[in-house]
């Protein structure tokens, strides 16, 4: 995958982005780069975003771009299941009741990941993508994560992993 990223466009194979983890501590989340190197712009992407490379589209669709996050799991920044970590700009907008998601280690997958599997398509239809993300998607994601935290445990985490794999395979 790293070779495919490198061969498809100039730049590094890996992409690092600051995210907010447990206790509000920032860390660098790693992914395979799916956008053109040096792309600036919004922190979120939608279908048809010109910054995303052809290889990047495939990696995102199959979630293979997230394999380097296993390094974050090994470092202790993340776990397999837990609320997805957000960029600091969005965490600053959290309501007080949402901050509870920062009490646990973030994860590679969570119920919101499954629910918003097609987030890029949803955002493509929004006029103001950033506002729609902040006002509609983010509150629903955080609500799902708070609900998840109420029932988190080994069995529920295993169910989230299997539902995530099914969502990737079935699309």
pLDDT tens digits, one per residue of 68-122: 999 999 999 999 999 999 999 999 999 999 999 999 999 999 999 999 988 888 8
DSSP category for residue 143? H
The predicted structure's pLDDT at residue 62: 86
The predicted structure's pLDDT at residue 119: 87
pLDDT band per the 50, 70, 90 thresholds, residue 141: very high
pLDDT per residue as tens digits for the range 5-45: 998 889 999 999 999 999 999 999 999 998 887 777 666 67
Q: For 17, what's the count of Cα atoms within 13 Å in the CB-facing half-sphere?
A: 22
Average pLDDT of the segment spanning 42-49 = 71
CB of 156 within 8 A of CB of 163? no
pLDDT band per the 50, 70, 90 thresholds, residue 171: low
pLDDT band per the 50, 70, 90 thresholds, residue 143: very high
Average pLDDT of the segment spanning 137-158 = 95
Burial class (CB in 10 A: 0-12, 13-18, 19+), 69: buried
The predicted structure's pLDDT at residue 135: 94
Which among 139, 47, 62, 60 has a CA at the least distance from the CA of 93? 139
The predicted structure's pLDDT at residue 42: 66
pLDDT band per the 50, 70, 90 thresholds, residue 136: very high
From residue 100, alpha-carbon distances to 11, 91, 114 in Å are 37, 11, 20
């Amino acid at each position: 995958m790293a070779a495919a990223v490198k061969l498809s466009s100039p730049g590094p194979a890996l992409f690092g982005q600051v995210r907010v983890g447990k206790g509000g501590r920032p860390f660098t989340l790693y992914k395979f780069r799916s956008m053109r190197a040096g792309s600036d712009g919004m922190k979120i992407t939608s279908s048809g975003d010109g910054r995303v490379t052809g290889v990047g589209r495939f990696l995102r669709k199959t979630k293979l771009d997230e394999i380097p996050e296993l390094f974050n799991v090994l470092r202790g920044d993340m776990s397999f299941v837990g609320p997805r970590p957000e960029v600091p700009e969005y965490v600053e907008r959290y309501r007080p009741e949402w901050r509870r998601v920062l009490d646990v280690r973030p994860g590679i997958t969570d119920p919101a990941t499954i629910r918003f599997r097609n987030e890029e398509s949803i955002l493509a239809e929004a006029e103001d993508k950033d506002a729609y993300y902040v006002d509609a998607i983010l509150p629903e994601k955080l609500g799902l994560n708070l609900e998840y935290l109420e029932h988190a445990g080994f069995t529920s985490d295993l169910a989230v992993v299997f539902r995530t794999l099914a969502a990737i395979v079935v699309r």
